Amino acid sequence: MEQLKEQAAKPKKEIKGVIQPKLVRVISFTVITASLVACTVLCILAIWEFSKSDAVWRAIATFIVVSVATGIFTFVNEKLG
């Protein structure tokens, strides 16, 4: 029983980073969300034939690259900080 109390009493490990991790996470979330919204709008336009299907594949590829790069940056910032 005392072990549980000791574990509960331990403070959480604070995440440190070169840049404030909370700010990086907010920016990462904003960038990924904006990319996802743009990709969704472009896909809907392509479905209704207002845009070329080639643009959709480029938008999806761009979204993937931006998401992976943002995720890697967030991970490295938290691990090296």
Query: Among 62, 42, 61, which Cα is nearest to 52's?
Result: 42
**Residue 2 clears pLDDT 70, i.e. is over it:** no
pTM of the model: 0.71
Distance CA 23, CA 59 (A): 26
Tell me: the pLDDT tens digits for 31-58? 999 999 999 998 888 888 887 778 888 9
Helix (H, G, I), strand (E, B) or coil at 1: coil
Tell me: the pLDDT tens digits for 65-75? 999 999 999 99
Distance CA 73, CA 10 (A): 29
Residue given tokens 């960038």 in the structure block: 31
Tell me: the pLDDT tens digits for 4-34? 566 666 666 777 788 899 999 999 999 999 9
